[in-house]
Amino acid sequence: MSASAVWRPFTQHAVEPAPPRIVRSEGAWLHDAEGRAILDAISSWWVTTHGHRQPRIMAAIREASENLDQIIFAGLTHAPAEDLASRLVGVAPRGLTRVFFSDSGSTAVEVALKMALGTFQNRGDLKRVRIAALEGGYHGDTIGTMSVGARGVFNAPYAPLLFEVERIPFPEPGAEQAAYDALERAGRDGALAALVLEPLILGAGGMLTYRPEALSEMARIARAAGALVVADEVMTGWGRTGTMFACDQAGLVPDILCTSKGLTGGAVPLAATLAREEIFEAHLSQDRAKTFFHSSSFTANPIACAAALANLDVWRDEPVAERVAALAQAQTERVRAYEDDPRFANARTCGTIAAVDLKVSDAGYLSEIGPRLRAFFLERGLLIRPLGDVIYLMPPYCVTAAELDRLHDAILEVPGALEAAR
């Protein structure tokens, strides 16, 4: 039996070594109990935007804890949540007027799915019960979000619990028409309630990118069929793709937008689902049966809301947009090193995110190369978690040019090191 009682996420304990014990974090770095510094190249699973322990966010957490802890949000309210909702409406795509708080990206998307279905049910449009989603998408690990995500090793054991959705081909740049045609067919019978997608880039699906024009056209087709558009901006929001929200690059105002991860700068858990006014109004009735029946115990936690408000202050007062633009440019310049290297394929960027495929014989998420790559990078003091043969970097915006060079240099070392180890 392991000395630790912890059951860790996405970890096969039978084959993986005990993890480093982190004792301190600061900026782009994690420090373990052995005194080693580890460069966090994936923002601790895509959450940390400005850097670990951003001073203004940490101060806001401390100050909020002097006056408030968790307050039930059904029947009561508090200033941090009210202020945050107002400010989120101010920075989100214009037209999103209502904010529903939850506590993770999965629940934010789960809320969105329930909102979409509830909207049509409350309007008496009982036929609209189907959801369309992109092939290869990932939206979380709750039952609803697994259902709209790609089917595979992540959720195969739970297949009896999952509902079927309309699968839309990934809009591969230059071959988007297949996606458009499939979505148009899916909406012909009037049963489509919503299209849910990750705008511009799939996350866990392999960091695959598509054009803003494709996002805009898929939204147009869905709406022409009478369906709602749900943008899962849990990973893509807060500057990751180069703009505050990825939808901004397509000029798209979705009907529902989901955000989490960078909402608090990555400091503490919080999520929000933003909706157009007409979606709220579909649940507004003298008939209490039309209430939106969803909650979590920690909805709108005041301390988390205070952290999110401080994050918004950082965006307002500091040159975050310039940092994002500089990082995006730096990533674009550095991925050129892979383009003519036959050991790699499909070098790509999307804003601050860079990714490249390592050419191996056993590609895929469960490729044996994945654990070997994690160990290779960790030995060099780098936290990089490849998606099988897909190596990606999503560092916090405080990463320096020298640190970024260190990350890309290590990736370029990989093929030679693997060959030498055979």
Name every residue whose Cβ is closer than 8 Å to that of residue 270 and which is 6 or more positions away in sequence. Answer: 101, 103, 260, 263, 264, 301, 304, 305, 307, 308
CATH 3.40.640.10 domain residues, the chain: 57-317
Decide which of 3.40.640.10, 3.40.50.2000, 3.40.50.300, 3.50.50.60 is the CATH code for 57-317: 3.40.640.10
Q: Which pLDDT does position 2 carry in this prediction?
A: 60
What is the rounded CA–CA span in Å between residue 372 and residue 112? Answer: 37
What is the rounded CA–CA span in Å between residue 51 and residue 294? Answer: 33
What is the rounded CA–CA span in Å between residue 89 and residue 103? Answer: 18
pLDDT in tens, 347-374: 999 999 999 999 998 877 777 888 999 9
What is the rounded CA–CA span in Å between residue 366 and residue 369? Answer: 8
Q: Give the three-class secondary structure for 350.
A: strand
- Helix (H) or strand (E) holding 273, with range, is strand 271-276
Q: Give the three-class secondary structure for 329.
A: helix
Q: What is the mean pLDDT of residues 375-403?
A: 97
Which of 302, 292, 291, 245 has the alpha carbon at shortest distance from 96?
245
Supply 63's token pair: 């100050």
State the chain's mean pLDDT as an integer: 96
What is the rounded CA–CA span in Å between residue 251 and residue 238? Answer: 16
Q: What is the mean pLDDT of residues 143-149?
A: 96
Q: What is the mean pLDDT of residues 190-200?
A: 98
Residue matched to tokens 């040159």: 319
pLDDT in tens, 306-349: 999 999 999 999 999 999 999 999 999 999 999 999 999 999 99
Query: Are 292 and 115 within 8 A, CB to CB?
Result: yes
Q: Give the three-class secondary structure for 7.
A: coil
What is the rounded CA–CA span in Å between residue 285 and residue 277? Answer: 14
pLDDT in tens, 392-416: 999 999 999 999 999 999 999 999 9
CATH 3.90.1150.10 domain residues, the chain: 320-420
Query: Are 149 and 118 within 8 A, CB to CB?
Result: no
- pLDDT of 1 higher than 60: no
**Confidence tier at 80 by pLDDT (50, 70, 90):** very high
pLDDT in tens, 83-106: 999 999 999 999 999 999 999 999
- Helix (H) or strand (E) holding 331, with range, is helix 320-339
Question: Which CATH code is given to the segment(s) 320-420?
Answer: 3.90.1150.10
Supply 3's token pair: 């000395």
User: How many other CB atoms are there within 10 angstroms of residue 346's CB atom?
Assistant: 15
Beta bridge partners of 158: none
pLDDT in tens, 10-64: 999 999 999 999 999 999 999 999 999 999 999 999 999 999 999 999 999 999 9
Percentage, residues of the chain above pLDDT 70: 99
